[in-house]
Structure 1
Amino acid sequence: MAKSDPVPYWDILIHDALVFDGSGETPQQLDVAIKGSEIAAIGENLKSGGAKQLIDGSDKWLMPGLLDIHSHFDLEVEVAPELPEAVRHGTTTVINSNCSLGIAFGKQTNHDRPEENPILDCFARVENIPKSVLSKCIDTAVTWDNTGDYIKHFDHINLGPNVAVMVPHTMLRIEVMGLEDSISRDPTDDEIEKMCQLTQIAFDQGFVGFSSDGLPLHYLANDPHRNEKIPAQHATVKEIRALGEVTRKNERMWQCTPDPDNMLRTAVMFFMTSGRLFKKTLKMTATAAMDLNTNKRAADGLLRFSKLLNSNLLKGNFTFQALSCPFRVYADGVTTPLLEEKPAFRELNAIEIEDVESRRKLLHDPAFIERFRQDWMMGKQGFNLARLQRLLSIEPTTFSRNLSDIEIVSCPNEIWDGQNAGEVYQRLLNYQATNGSRGALSEQEAQEFAKFPNPIQDDADFILHLLREFDRQFRWYTITANTRPEVLKKLLFHEQTLPGFNDSGAHLTNMAYYDGNLLTLKMAAEDSIGLVSQAVKRLTRDPAELFNIDVGSIAIGAQAD
């Protein structure tokens, strides 16, 4: 393939690798030559004499760099632009500003309201990033105040991977309406028009899509708005449709999250993908296709709905993002996104991380204890709709609240490190029923059991005691989804999904799926080389084409990443 140049001059020649080119076709044993930043030649037995560097690819796979389509590196890339955790896991392109959050409009502070800090207010609680860390990043790294300067600044930092960004709906609303108004009233027609104009400008500058949000776990972090959802969730249908039309016209991607508390609104948004209804298809991707422990039917329902949207009837282009592994979520006491699902849990999460005293005061308040118990025990007792949904495994929630699903990682009482909370609870019940003669595994455990309310009322009492005693030193995790391997594999390779709900860069103390793409490849490798080829395509060329990014292929002239 390089016959016109008898002495080729290449920077790198990778010799005799098994090449997966991103097409999904059967891989071939080939040589690949690179000059500058592009692939210069592909073939068998390419001449190595003119290459500056020769890499032996025998017994190795060569594939395009992987895309992480759901990341939150917006601030991290400003302080660590090499993004080593992403790159070392094979990711060479990240897509930022998911879930309506980003920093494209700069700090967005307001001289008339100095107490407001929109980036901190939006990121701290949604992404579980400490305010002290966020403040340092904002103060030192964010120097622009518009989307154009934001895009340009990437030319002046030493990026590890390629970085693509979307227009973040929450920050767009703040830019046009101000933080206070963006959560307290509907936008005017002029404000909707201004949002559309700014979105069009951003698309012209190279933004690859638009991100919205509906997940009912996303709350602001500062007073007086701690009980308010982030601005994107206050958007009107008229506003969403207007912004959707700008995105459709520019053939960009619309990223969204469903609102399980308002499925009608969610369905209206999802139907925007329809080319039949709106004359032109809108590309859409949504989180997330997961096999929930609390709702075993949810994933199948999502896939059927996606199939309907993509049918000839509606002519959509809709894809659910899938997570490539069990959905393990860690918590430090109450600090976890899972405890944003219920009102009483949110009361605890709204308190500043460092404010131990206020949490303990609330945890000793009889009225709060009753609210907490009501939320914790919902569906576990009585005869009601919540109980029926729980029995049928169709609960509209993610966190099961079963002690048997909680694994203790560490706590000041180290004898419980690595133990299952449900087993500890059963030993406590035995200890109390026998007046301390049985149940405890050791004298140390008996001393801990003696501190619990006696008799303990229920498992809500048990978890309340642990939170009062240990606060954030009680570190635990639970696996809420993707525990059935055969269902997980189906979701990852289903025609209605793409792997990639990695959430990289977010929830750093709660979950980190930087290796999500590699886990997809591992699962495929355990099956067949043909499935590996399909996995590579789903992690490279498919998302690159969806987001219209010039990466994801091994071909002459393609970017060599």
Structure 2
Amino acid sequence: MTASPPPHLLIRGARIYDGTGGPSFIADVRVAGGVITEIGPDLAAPDLAAPDDMGATIIEAQGRWLMPGLLDIHTHFDLEAEIAPALPEAVRHGTTTVVVANCSLGLAYGHQRRDGQDPVVDCFARVENIPKPILKAVADKAIWQTSADYLAHLEQLPLGPNMVPLLPHSMLRIEVMGLHNSISRDPDDAEIAKMEALLQKAMAEGYAGFSTDALPFHYLANRPHERSRIPAQYGRFAELRRLTDIVRAHQRVWQATPPKDRPLEVLRTFFLSSGRFYGKPLKLTAVAAIDVASNKGLVVLARLMARLLNSRFVRGSFRMQALAAPFRVWAEGPLTPLAEEIPSLRRLNEPDLDDRAARRAILADPHWQAEFRAMWRAGKSGVSFARLKRILRREDYAISRNLADMEIDYAPVAEWAGRDMGSLYRHWRAVGAGEDQARSEAEAEAFTALDDLASGARDEAAFLIALLAHCDTDLCWSIVSANRDPKVVRDLVMDPLFLPGFNDSGAHLTNMAFYDGNLRALKIAQAENAVAYTVARLTREPADFFGIDAGRLEKGARADLVLINPEALAAYESEAHNQLIQRPEFGYHQRVNRSDGVVDLVLINGRVAWRDGHFSPQLGKDQGYGRCLRAVSAKAV
């Protein structure tokens, strides 16, 4: 539905952070026609009787912070936009612009269904932990076939926030080679040339950049490919160099994830950002600068790499993304993105979500159990290299193998909620030894089932195998696998060589919830008296990096604005406001954040999208809020 003209608004008495990083100031802001028309003290109130001012709104903002709309630079909202274009979980937290098609996955070429293959479902289901029925519904709507048609499609959607699409590498390979060939052989010269031509075309059309992926645990979901990685993983360095040279020539952004288990390959790949060695700096943003609890060396490597690549000698333009939150990841039984990293646990992620029988068959397999036990016990005792790596916290896997770190959210036995698995394991052993009693009939029945499944074994591995077999996805638990130390998180978020990001919004529906990541960054800044600096890093700085028209609070700028209650922000505890809700649009549940009271007002294109805890009834129905933003400049950062 086409929207009526944007209203006339006057925001009075706010403390303004304009996104430049300069000192804040108190002023009024006038908005008309979707743009900021005036900024200054004591602006005249609109004449509500005048034809031009009829329906005008005066917003009293004394004691509030007014800033440009916030950018979320690592999202997968392109999928949700096809089903629920308002993107409410972005808007309610003050996000007015989202970058989509990260990690080499997206919808630039539509559903790409050919030869019985369903690439959108195959690529997204396990990598982004989105149920297949939702992905099939998205693919059914994705009837365009070219990158230009996708941009035209986005311009017709009643978007909530603005969307900034990247051109995704996996989908580019599928478009040129087909899904099967893209994971089974190298492209020939003609196919490389066609990829270059399509990427060149997308850059000319205004795509903000190009996304690739090299994380070694991103796998396809559909048979017979469930043990193959997504197509971008099979692109060799020579292919990557030729494609990123096009991105470099257009001064656009390359978004990447590293081959984390191969440090020398990480360095070689990211050196493509160098202006000294490749003629011109290539803007590169990578995920992620997080402090992994089991491997403290990764965050050290991230810091060293940022300083090396951005040095005057290398002359790169490199920004790793730092998450402004503890990296808490939820699991439904064995299903969690962290499990994909470990071969034995990855097997449990291969069956479809509703195929409990297949998972239980795997859990009952003696060969699988032996493999799992070996993994679980590695480095926990004796003298070995694995033991040394565990002591030094330089382990290979991000997931903790400490039961005390695994916190139960809900389970078939009500008494288990809120407990860690270590205490539950000890209680199970004590009950079995006659040293304690079950606390309910339900727990007694569950422990009997665990005893039968464990076949007399009482070690941690046997307990976990039995627990997963008995409960499957009815057991929900979480673990903070990174960013446990608030001081380290603060240092990463504030580091000028990083950018706040890696929220992964729109993906991992039941596994993660960092939709409020920008607010968490502002809360850190508030405690450090660095609000102006951080507002710039959430608005103008990423907008300039991606070369888009956003992140400004100045006369003539599009009126994407956010009004924050600083007292509510100071009191906000995100971890306590995490919820699992039902999303009728998806027919599925989703883990979300609730920061109500922190964000008073969100304007998108001069229109009220959120005010005082409520969405505009027209959000997601009328055009005129968010737009598809194309790259319009290439400002160096």
Band the TM-score falls in, shorter-chain normalisation: over 0.9
- Aligned CA RMSD, in angstroms, stands at 1.6
Give the equivalent residue in structure 2 for 1:527. 528
**CA shift for structure 1 position 242:** 0.3
Structure 2 vs 1, CA of residues 12 and 185 (structure 1 numbering), >3 Å: closer, same or farther? same
Q: Secondary structure at the match of 1:74?
A: helix
Give the equivalent residue in structure 2 for 1:438. 436
Give the equivalent residue in structure 2 for 1:422. 422
Query: Is the CA contact (8 Å cut-off) linking 2:168 and 2:211 kept in structure 1?
Result: yes
CA deviations 1:229-265 (Å, max 9, x no partner) are: 1000000111000011000000000000111122222
2:295 maps to 1:295: yes
**CA shift for structure 1 position 411:** 1.3
Structure-2 separation of matches of 1:513 and 1:102: 20
Is there any run of 5+ residues in structure 1 with no aligned partner, and where?
1-8
Query: Is the CA contact (8 Å cut-off) linking 1:170 and 1:212 kept in structure 2?
Result: yes
CA deviations 1:466-515 (Å, max 9, x no partner) are: 01111111111111011111111001101121111100000001002110
- Listed as ranges, the matches of 1:496-507 within 5 Å are 496-507=497-508
Structure-2 separation of matches of 1:537 and 1:32: 19
Give the equivalent residue in structure 1 for 2:351. 351
Structure-2 separation of matches of 1:476 and 1:205: 44
- Listed as ranges, the matches of 1:154-303 within 5 Å are 154-303=154-303
2:101 maps to 1:91: no
Q: Secondary structure at the match of 1:408?
A: strand
Q: Give TM-score, length-normalised by structure 1.
A: 0.95
Structure-2 separation of matches of 1:523 and 1:187: 47
CA deviations 1:279-304 (Å, max 9, x no partner) are: 10000000001111101232122111
CA deviations 1:381-439 (Å, max 9, x no partner) are: 3432222111110112210121011011111122211111001112233344xx31337
Structure-2 separation of matches of 1:437 and 1:92: 57
- Listed as ranges, the matches of 1:250-399 within 5 Å are 250-399=250-399
Give the equivalent residue in structure 2 for 1:449. 447
Query: Is the CA contact (8 Å cut-off) linking 1:431 and 1:438 kept in structure 2?
Result: yes
Q: Secondary structure at the match of 2:375?
A: helix
**CA shift for structure 1 position 441:** 5.0
Query: Is the CA contact (8 Å cut-off) linking 1:436 and 1:446 kept in structure 2?
Result: no
**CA shift for structure 1 position 347:** 0.8
Give the equivalent residue in structure 1 for 2:634. none
**CA shift for structure 1 position 128:** 0.9
Query: Is the CA contact (8 Å cut-off) linking 1:343 and 1:375 kept in structure 2?
Result: no
Which one is further off, 276-285 or 447-456? 447-456
Q: Secondary structure at the match of 1:289?
A: coil
Q: Secondary structure at the match of 1:480?
A: strand
2:46 maps to 1:49: yes
Q: Secondary structure at the match of 1:346?
A: helix
Query: Is the CA contact (8 Å cut-off) linking 2:342 and 2:397 kept in structure 1?
Result: no
Give the equivalent residue in structure 1 for 2:590. none
Give the equivalent residue in structure 1 for 2:33. 36
Which has the bigger relative contact order, CA under 8 A and spacing at least 6? Answer: 2
Structure-2 separation of matches of 1:394 and 1:84: 39
Q: Give TM-score, length-normalised by structure 2.
A: 0.83
Give the equivalent residue in structure 1 for 2:552. 553
Q: Secondary structure at the match of 1:255?
A: strand
How many residue pairs match? The answer is 545
Structure-2 separation of matches of 1:548 and 1:93: 13
Query: Is the CA contact (8 Å cut-off) linking 2:182 and 2:231 kept in structure 1?
Result: yes
Structure 2 vs 1, CA of residues 78 and 450 (structure 1 numbering), >3 Å: closer, same or farther? closer
Give the equivalent residue in structure 2 for 1:118. 119
Query: Is the CA contact (8 Å cut-off) linking 1:333 and 1:467 kept in structure 2?
Result: yes
Which one is further off, 379-388 or 548-557? 379-388
**CA shift for structure 1 position 336:** 0.8
Query: Is the CA contact (8 Å cut-off) linking 2:220 and 2:226 kept in structure 1?
Result: yes
Q: 1:550 is matched by which residue type in structure 2?
A: D
Query: Is the CA contact (8 Å cut-off) linking 1:10 and 1:33 kept in structure 2?
Result: no
Q: Secondary structure at the match of 1:225?
A: coil
Which one is further off, 299-308 or 230-239? 299-308
**CA shift for structure 1 position 377:** 2.3
CA deviations 1:264-289 (Å, max 9, x no partner) are: 22211100000000110000000001
Give the equivalent residue in structure 2 for 1:468. 469
**CA shift for structure 1 position 553:** 1.1
Is there any run of 5+ residues in structure 2 with no aligned partner, and where?
1-5, 48-52, 561-637
Structure-2 separation of matches of 1:255 and 1:137: 23
Give the equivalent residue in structure 2 for 1:539. 538
Give the equivalent residue in structure 1 for 2:605. none
CA deviations 1:170-227 (Å, max 9, x no partner) are: 0000001111110011111221111111011011111001000011221000111100
**CA shift for structure 1 position 79:** 1.3
Give the equivalent residue in structure 1 for 2:77. 73
The alignment-based identity, stated in percent, is 47
Give the equivalent residue in structure 2 for 1:5. none
**CA shift for structure 1 position 48:** 1.5
Q: 1:525 is matched by which residue type in structure 2?
A: Q
Give the equivalent residue in structure 2 for 1:101. 105
Query: Is the CA contact (8 Å cut-off) linking 2:429 and 2:458 kept in structure 1?
Result: no
Give the equivalent residue in structure 1 for 2:620. none
